[in-house]
Amino acid sequence: MSENTTTTTTAPTENLRERALKLDAADPLAGRRALFALDDGVYLDGNSLGALPVHVPARVQDVLTRQWGELRIRSWDESGWWTAPERIGDRIAPLVGAAAGQIVVGDSTSVNVFKAVVAAVRIAGEGRDEILVDATTFPTDGYIASAAARLTGHRIVPVAPADVLAALGPRTAAVLLNHVDYRSGRLHDLPGLTAAVHAAGAVAVWDLCHSAGALPVGLDEHGVDLAVGCTYKYLNGGPGSPAYLYVAERHQAVFDSPLPGWNSHADPFGMTAGYAPADGSVRGRVGTPDIVSMLTLEAALDVWDGVSVDAVRAKSLALTDFFLECVEAYVPAGRVVSVTPAAHAERGSQVALRCAEAEPVMRRLIERGVVGDLRRPDVLRFGFTPLYVGFADAERAARILADVLAEVPAGNTVS
């Protein structure tokens, strides 16, 4: 199953099924599944779009009918609309290891990446003209960073995360990295890389889209400067739910946003011609908040009440270990190869399998109720959201994968 393995184990199917049931029975997070709207299938695409918490529609109905329909403009004050970006940011903060007052919610991940990268090079100051960008990153991060570089007169330096240390130097202003690689599920060394960036005199910007809500991040503990993330994956905020921006408290007084909208003004209703930035994380705001989707997110975050991120991480690792074991047992040698690191310290909360027939295989998996996704040309991607995915789901998905592979003619086997 791993890159170095060409043989399969011989664990009987029934033993794996029995183990899965026992593991689910002992799982302290198993009760969380009932909080989500799920069908009888196996949903392994929460790393693209999290499942709907069952209580959210009623909360959204209240936003629409009472807060908007009855209170109307009064809801900016009476329903707390105006303070929602910071209030919801404070709810996300514990999930990424941040103290209150450092996260503001609003805009898309892409917009927040732009704010963060431009602000980072401005914090770094003159004499540094390079922005290092993860060469394997989600494409939009690269596009946005390149636009930020053009705006600020800097040069983009694409570099693999493993080569960041060698690429850092006196010209480095900022480094933009993904905490977890969206394609392979590899977890990068946030503490070590952040420390190295600081040692070089540069500013560290992290994209947390594939880690927040799946594993501990430790933004404050590890001295991260700026971070961004989406809320529709492991945080289950809904399609297109607003992203967030983390600005470490030590940088807030000098955070210079390239998008200084009226919402981030020190006196937004003064309507003055000159811009004066507000204090604190409010500086990360731009225009009028997208209230309906923002309050949908706020309601969705209720599923995290009483949940330890450490417990989520422990289950995530156990789930992905078990899924890999089941795939090893069920799938014929050579049909798939895991490109997700085996080492826990290097693994996010997904398993990516290279498969020569990835497109027809994923199509048939979805038809049979196992929903993952595809990263062309040959990667089957399965996301494990510990709040609602169980061990029986992992075993069933691996078993159906083996059935599908038996039906789909093999092309070039992978090694």
Among 275, 304, 333, the domain boundary falls at 304
- Work out the burial of residue 152: count CB atoms within 10 Å of its CB; fewer than 13 is exposed, 13-18 middle, 19 or more buried: middle
CA-to-CA dists, residue 35 to 23, 51, 53, 387, 388, angstroms: 20, 10, 6, 9, 8
Q: And the tokens for 124?
A: 């770094």
User: Residue 412 has what pLDDT?
Assistant: 53
Q: How confident is the model at residue 410 (pLDDT cuts 50, 70, 90)?
A: confident
* Residues 185, 103 share a domain: yes
Catalytic residue flag (residue 207): yes
User: Residue 415 has what pLDDT?
Assistant: 47
E strands in 232-343? 244-247, 337-338
Mean pLDDT of 272-292: 97
Q: Residues 45, 134, 181, 207: which is the catalytic one? A: 207
Q: Is the pLDDT of residue 7 over 70?
A: no
Q: What is the CATH number of the domain that holds 151?
A: 3.40.640.10
Q: What is the pLDDT of residues 340-399, one digit of tens each?
A: 999 999 999 999 999 999 999 999 999 999 999 999 999 999 999 999 999 999 999 999
Residue 377: cis peptide before it, omega within 30 degrees of 0: yes
pTM, to two decimals: 0.94
Catalytic residue flag (residue 399): no
Q: Residues 36, 43, 182, 232: which is the catalytic one? A: 232
Q: Is the pLDDT of residue 214 over 80?
A: yes
Catalytic residue flag (residue 138): yes
CB 330 within 8 A of CB 399: yes
State phi, psi for 277 to the nearest 5 degrees.
Answer: -70, 145
Mean pLDDT of 223-232: 98
Number of domains the chain is built from: 2
* Residues 355, 266 share a domain: no
**Would you tell me how many other CB atoms lie within 10 Å of the CB of residue 327?**
24
Averaged pLDDT score across all residues of the chain: 95
* Residues 348, 312 share a domain: yes
Q: What is the CATH number of the domain that holds 363?
A: 3.90.1150.10
* Residues 107, 252 share a domain: yes
Q: What is the pLDDT of residues 170-199, one digit of tens each?
A: 999 999 999 999 999 999 999 999 999 999
User: Residue 137 has what pLDDT?
Assistant: 80
Q: Residues 122, 233, 283, 354: which is the catalytic one? A: 233
Domain that holds residue 191: 57-304
Running DSSP on this structure, what letter comes out for residue 64?
I
Inside any domain, residue 114:
yes
Q: Residues 381, 384, 388, 399: which is the catalytic one? A: 381
Give the residue from 320, 309, 300 showing the smallest Cα distance to 393.
Answer: 320
Catalytic residue flag (residue 322): no
* Residues 376, 268 share a domain: no
Q: Residues 138, 234, 255, 322: which is the catalytic one? A: 138
Q: Is the pLDDT of residue 298 over 50?
A: yes
* Residues 110, 88 share a domain: yes
Across 4-13, 54-63, 150-159, least confident range: 4-13
Catalytic residue flag (residue 233): yes
In this structure, which long-range contacts are made by residues 88-93, counting pairs with CB atoms below 8 Å and at least 24 apart in sequence?
88/244, 88/294, 88/297, 88/298, 88/301, 89/244, 89/281, 91/298, 91/301, 91/304, 92/212, 92/231, 92/235, 92/244, 92/301
CB 312 within 8 A of CB 96: no
Mean pLDDT of 124-146: 94
